[in-house]
Amino acid sequence: MTKKPDILRIAIAQLNPTVGDVAGNLAKAREARADAARQGADLVLYTELFLAGYPPEDLVLKPAFLKACEKAAQEFAADTSDGGPGVIIGTPLKRKSGTHNSIIVADAGKIIAERYKLDLPNYGEFDEKRVFQVGPEIQGPVNFRGVRIGIPICEDIWGDVGICESLAESGAEILLVPNGSPYYRAKIDVRHQVVIRQVIECGLPITYANQLGGQDELIFDGASFAIGADKTLAFQMSQFEEAVDVITWKRGEDGWVCSEGPMSKIPEREEADYRACMLGLRDYVNKNGFKNVVLGLSGGIDSAICAALAVDALGEERLRAVMMPYRYTSKDSLKDAEDCARALGCRYDIVPIFEPVEGFLHALTQLFEGTKEGITEENLQSRARGTILMAISNKFGSMVVTTGNKSEMSVGYATLYGDMNGGFNPIKDLYKMQVYALSRWRNSHVPPGALGPSGEVIPKNIIDKAPSAELRENQTDQDSLPPYPVLDDILECLVENEMGVDDIVARGHDRATVTRIEHLLYIAEYKRRQAAPGVKITRKNFGRDRRYPITNRFRDRG
């Protein structure tokens, strides 16, 4: 009888794949396996649907895509004939039972097992039931070199369907879980609690390998970890960083115990949010092939933090900042924008918009005769700026970074075909007060991996002054909105927590204000449907998580 191994070295490949780049993802997987081999690994654990990239959405419905993924899986399995580490890697597989979110286990040059995801998520940002079929049954553990490994896939451990417990009952000694778990604030604590609950139920150590990188609105933050059978944290990998870390597990009298692995420090709230926004912008720009970006730098807080994020993500040479003054642009704003650009080291251009705005007004003189000047004329300023930015984008191939925060997007304080123009919005899911908090944090810290300078990159005057769109004389945001701390709390109640008006009023808010904000939230839905994608930071972002009808007469009146 072959003696069972007492040591198993598992490499966690916490990597950044690209959806649809099957050849590139395979090359990345091969590079990670070679790295793991140099570190003495027996097995490499990749993340969910790694060869396809996650989430592949309706690409899964394309037969040619499925064929390319399976071919890559077979080629990778053949690589293991070299005597190096075996692999567990995610890929979609089409079988008689349907198209499955799957993993293959490969060793000694061949695929020794396939496993299929059983619990398909269909909430929030997930809609896997549209494109995948549930695995036919709970499959037992895989015998890998004498160790019986259970391999539930992501959502299989999040629900209460008993998959981990069933694997333990069928002889699994250790559970390895490939995941595609997107970031939102404090998500790591949620993951830890999910895994601890499953450890309590099944009595086995669980390793949680999580994807890294930006995919459209979603940010995968890595932070892979394991919880031992004793319910303590066995190892913790870094957040927002690619890594191939080898974890040493030893067999003891009471099962497998982690004897060696990283214990990385996890960033605090502001750092985590900032790094998520930075990673999301970097990956969106780079994965979509843009060489550089352009944004309107107004002298306000939103465009300033977006400029800082762009320089941190891409480097100063890849950002062009454009100030587009009009008659209402203050001297402070001109100075603040220039100071910000100088602090960041990026290119800074000034393109006045007096002539185009006056040209529009002149063209509309006859049509507008007898009407009062107001929002329409203000929006012409914003749309002139949007047109200029799109012209620069067309001429130089630069992606426009749009800069509206979640507070503004919630209540419709953004102009379609104006300041909403752009390809991606790194602060789309940050409320105004969160923008201020992250700006202060960035002035005191340089996040790991950032390409921007240290020191104050967002001038203090931008943070301290009253926010204004500067579309008329002496305008401030608070002319027509409650103070941002009040507005943001009401919006968080309405959007993230789906609270009723009575419950929000009970928190101390004025009822008329709450009902007005609720109304503004609903009527701005048509604008949000046309907005650029942006980084998901909260539990419920606009887009993937929150899908309200545009035509909607419901109002909560108790």
Ligand-binding annotation for 527, yes or no, is: yes
| Other Cβ atoms within 10 Å of 125 Cβ, number | 17
Ligand-binding annotation for 395, yes or no, is: no
Q: Please answer whether residues 54 and 47 qualify as being in contact, where contact means their C-beta atoms are separated by less than 8 angstroms.
A: yes
Give the Cα separation of 101 and 123 in Å (integer).
17
Sketch out the chain's domains with CATH numbers: 7-258 (3.60.110.10), 270-529 (3.40.50.620)
Considering the candidates 69, 154, 306, 346, report the single residue annotated as catalytic.
154
Taking only the tens place, the pLDDT of each residue in 181-202 is 999 999 999 999 999 999 999 9
Q: What is the three-state SS of 193-238? A: HHHHHHHHHHCCCEEEEECEEEECCEEEEECCEEECCCCCEEEECC
Considering the candidates 28, 48, 287, 306, report the single residue annotated as catalytic.
48
Determine whether 202 is an active site residue.
no
Determine whether 48 is an active site residue.
yes
Q: Please answer whether residues 379 and 415 qualify as being in contact, where contact means their C-beta atoms are separated by less than 8 angstroms.
A: yes
Chain center to CA of 143: 35
Comparing 21-25, 404-408, 466-470, the range with the smallest average pLDDT is: 466-470
**Overall residue count recorded for the chain in this entry:** 558
Give the Cα separation of 319 and 344 in Å (integer).
10
| pLDDT category of residue 254 using cuts at 50, 70 and 90 | confident
Q: What is residue 160's predicted lDDT score, i.e. its pLDDT?
A: 79
Give the Cα separation of 287 and 297 in Å (integer).
25
| Residue 15 scores a pLDDT above 80 | yes
Q: Please answer whether residues 262 and 235 qualify as being in contact, where contact means their C-beta atoms are separated by less than 8 angstroms.
A: yes
One-letter amino acid identity for 375? I
One-letter amino acid identity for 129? K
* Tokens coding 190: 């949620």
Q: Please answer whether residues 278 and 313 qualify as being in contact, where contact means their C-beta atoms are separated by less than 8 angstroms.
A: yes
Ligand-binding annotation for 408, yes or no, is: yes
Q: What is residue 501's predicted lDDT score, i.e. its pLDDT?
A: 94
Taking only the tens place, the pLDDT of each residue in 444-494 is 999 999 999 999 999 999 999 876 665 656 556 566 789 999 999 999 999
Ligand-binding annotation for 102, yes or no, is: no
Q: What is residue 473's predicted lDDT score, i.e. its pLDDT?
A: 62
Give the Cα separation of 255 and 553 in Å (integer).
59
Ligand-binding annotation for 297, yes or no, is: yes
Please give the DSSP secondary-structure letter assigned to residue 159: S
Determine whether 67 is an active site residue.
no
Considering the candidates 70, 114, 117, 492, report the single residue annotated as catalytic.
117
